[in-house]
Amino acid sequence: MDFRPLAEVERRTLTTALRNNADRGLALLMDRLDTSFAGTAEDVPEVEVINAVKSVPSHY
């Protein structure tokens, strides 16, 4: 696979989102069609929970 790196702005945005997810419980949103990163949200409607990475337990 030819790896396409993140642009610097994309990397900063994603890093902040991941840290807010871990520290503040903000949900990471997955695009419904292709699972790409679609931003963060404090509250997620019930119908979109399946596309929101919120309380995923993990050790890293």
Token output for 21? 């997810």
What binding mask, one character per residue, do residues 31-50 give for other proteins by CB under 8 A, x or -?
-xxxxxx------------x
Token output for 31? 């695009």
Largest interatomic CA distance in the chain: 37
Which of 9, 18, 39, 44 is the binder for other proteins (CB under 8 A)? 18
Cβ proximity to other proteins: between 33 and 42 the closer is 33
- Contact indicator for 52, 29 with CB cutoff of 8 Å: yes
- Contact indicator for 25, 5 with CB cutoff of 8 Å: no
Please report, as ranges, the residues that interact with other proteins according to CB under 8 A. 1, 3-6, 10-11, 14-15, 18-19, 21-22, 28, 30, 32-37, 50, 53, 56-60
